[in-house]
A and B are shown apart, each in its own frame.
Chain A
């Protein structure tokens, strides 16, 4: 066999393996496998929108993540457009330093029926408390929470509850099961958002409506 032919056929083989492999990989990952689907939605997770909606968006977020902050109004707006057909399940992926405690604050605010209010005020002042050049100063959050009508003393007590710890630990375990490595991570009816972006998320939601 001459050199040219050998090299050319090797190149073809490599191309076939690469593209064939990517096709198979993407096909097998187009949806979360059925044995892992229980990790997507937990009964104690916070749900926004119609709880009986047939299309479920699952978002794993970190309150210190800037992209999560920028996606929040976007996703909320999509929900507003389809109030009956959509629900958003919010899950925690506290990857940043000290995000665990911020997530505990949000979860404790839920006991005061102020989940979204807490989340929104924490996002609102994200630039202030979550510096990306150093460690976040989560102590600052206490002074912002009363703005959302949250009883901070009550919240501090509630944060110590083992149920809250259990919820966050479960969410972290689920990020590992589902292979969530970056935030925000979206799943629409168990289909992960493969290519990240607002347009791509909108398209994925539209295809599932």
Chain B
């Protein structure tokens, strides 16, 4: 196996892992809202908008062996990461929440899950987007 083949295989594996991360995030968030019936807040929606299309973009990238998938997926990962970061800052009170009247919406600081005392949905989202950013970084590094 020559060097190019090796790096191509590495790139493929990284993309596959990234796809697995997006699938778990997508199905996990759908499970929270559709099965456990937790209403998603606005910031969750913005993060979903960035996460859901990645499941398809990565699949296309995997099958077409397209190295430029980095360019298409990075903006979504970056925007998702930004909202996830902001959401967590809001949740931990580092950024103050704007006072809002009682509407039918859901507060972005409400707590649906609190596993082991520190795992929250927005925490999982931040973890997933960070992981994707790291995987994309390595992908770009090996495909160059």
Cα-based distance from A187 to B19 in the complex (angstroms): 40
- A14 within 8 A of partner (CB): yes
* Number of residues of chain B lying within 8 A (CB) of chain A: 21
* CB closest residue in chain A, given B101: A134
Say whether B36 contacts A25, CB under 8 Å: yes
Tell me if A's interface is mostly helix, strand, loop or mixed.
helix
Say whether B101 contacts A135, CB under 8 Å: yes
- B35 within 8 A of partner (CB): yes
Say whether A7 contacts B59, CB under 8 Å: yes
Nearest-Cβ distance from residue B13 to partner chain A, whole angstroms: 10
* CB closest residue in chain B, given A6: B16
Say whether B101 contacts A10, CB under 8 Å: no
Question: Which A residues are CB-close (under 8 A) to B36?
Answer: 25
* Number of residues of chain A lying within 8 A (CB) of chain B: 22
Nearest-Cβ distance from residue B105 to partner chain A, whole angstroms: 11
Listed in ascending order, the chain A residues whose CB lies under 8 Å from chain B are: 3-4, 6-7, 10, 14, 17-18, 21-22, 25-26, 95-97, 132-135, 181-182, 194
Listed in ascending order, the chain B residues whose CB lies under 8 Å from chain A are: 12, 16, 19-20, 23-24, 27, 30-31, 34-39, 59, 62-63, 101-103
Q: Name 16 A/B residue pairs within 8 A (Cβ), A-sorted.
A: A3-B12, A3-B63, A6-B16, A7-B16, A7-B62, A10-B20, A14-B24, A22-B34, A25-B31, A25-B35, A132-B101, A133-B101, A134-B101, A181-B39, A182-B39, A194-B37
